[in-house]
């Protein structure tokens, strides 16, 4: 790696990204607090899921700042270490994958209930979400193996790109299928026909 490092585009980008991640994590924490205060009668399963989402998001933010500590304190003055992949940074990818899988599985379950248990609508969504989780775990393992962004990009850049490509279709398909259900079967969404379990969506999951 070249000894000349563009600090604003490397260390600066990490710092700005960490601030944005912390801002969003604060939003998740606020939504979680509001959820527990406004919906005390929700089922234990939903409350546990909300807590897990908050915990994973908080851990993810902690891993990001742990990575920054290594870059700015542990390797202070060693600009070329920007190519090094800390353990905390690699693990944050898996935490994101698990969090995304839980949220997408929640919405897939809602589609399953609202579609009168139509497996053909749900199985593709869950399968894509699971592949995204596998991709995230594989990315973490590969990062821990190479410990270098340049080596990772040279050998398996496609793996990280694949994970990002798998992330977008699932929420779009979930939203599309919910809209189709509303349009084709509006009677399913009346206050009389919808159960509380089917229509309850904690705000924390919408922000995650």
Q: Distance (Å, rounded) from C-alpha 156 to C-alpha 94? A: 16
The least confident of 8-17, 39-48, 50-59, 189-198 is 189-198
Q: Is the pLDDT of residue 125 over 60?
A: yes
Rounded mean pLDDT of 139-147?
93
**Structure confidence at residue 189 (pLDDT):** 47
Q: How many domains does one find in the chain?
A: 1
Q: Is residue 40 part of a domain?
A: yes
Please report which confidence band the pLDDT of residue 195 belongs to, taking 50, 70 and 90 as the band edges. Answer: very low
Rounded mean pLDDT of 178-201?
51
Residue 42 per-residue DSSP state? S
Q: Is residue 72 part of a domain?
A: yes
Residue of 65, 100, 63 lying closest to 207 (CA atoms) = 100
Residue of 57, 40, 48, 60 lying closest to 106 (CA atoms) = 48
Q: Judging by beta carbons within 10 Å of its beta carbon (0-12, 13-18, 19+), is residue 10 exposed, middle or buried? A: middle
Q: Is residue 165 part of a domain?
A: yes
Q: Distance (Å, rounded) from C-alpha 22 to C-alpha 51? A: 18
Q: Is residue 123 part of a domain?
A: yes
Domain enclosing residue 35, as ranges: 11-207
Residue of 122, 114, 99 lying closest to 204 (CA atoms) = 99
| 18-62 residue pLDDT tens | 999 999 999 999 999 999 999 899 889 989 999 999 999 999 999
CB count, 10 Å around CB of 30?
13
Rounded mean pLDDT of 103-109?
86
Q: Is residue 45 part of a domain?
A: yes
Please report which confidence band the pLDDT of residue 113 belongs to, taking 50, 70 and 90 as the band edges. Answer: confident
Residues 6+ apart with CB under 8 A from 89: 63, 64, 67, 143
Q: Is residue 2 part of a domain?
A: no
Q: Distance (Å, rounded) from C-alpha 163 to C-alpha 194? A: 35
Q: Is residue 1 part of a domain?
A: no
CB contact at 8 A, 21 and 50:
no
**Structure confidence at residue 53 (pLDDT):** 94
Q: Is the pLDDT of residue 139 over 50?
A: yes
CB contact at 8 A, 52 and 111:
no
Q: Is residue 6 part of a domain?
A: no
Q: Is the pLDDT of residue 82 over 80?
A: yes
CB contact at 8 A, 106 and 205:
yes
């Amino acid at each position: 790696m070249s000894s000349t490092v563009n600090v604003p585009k490397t260390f600066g980008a990490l710092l700005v990204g960490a601030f944005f991640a912390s801002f969003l994590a604060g939003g998740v924490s606020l939504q979680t607090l509001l959820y527990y205060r406004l919906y005390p009668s929700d089922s234990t399963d939903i409350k546990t899921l909300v807590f897990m989402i908050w915990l994973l998001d908080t851990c993810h933010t902690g891993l990001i700042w742990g990575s920054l500590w290594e870059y700015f304190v542990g390797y202070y003055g060693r600009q070329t270490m920007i190519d090094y992949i800390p353990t905390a940074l690699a693990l944050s990818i898996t935490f994101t994958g698990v969090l995304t899988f839980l949220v997408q599985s929640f919405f897939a379950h809602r589609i399953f209930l609202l579609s009168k248990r139509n497996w053909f609508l749900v199985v593709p969504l869950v399968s894509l979400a699971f592949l995204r989780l596998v991709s995230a775990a594989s990315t973490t393992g590969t990062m821990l193996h190479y410990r270098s962004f340049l080596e990772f990009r040279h050998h398996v850049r496609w793996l990280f790109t694949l994970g990002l490509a798998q992330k977008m279709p699932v929420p779009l398909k979930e939203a599309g299928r919910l809209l189709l259900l509303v349009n084709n079967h509006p009677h399913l969404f009346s206050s009389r026909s919808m159960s509380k379990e089917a229509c309850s969506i904690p705000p924390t999951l919408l922000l995650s």
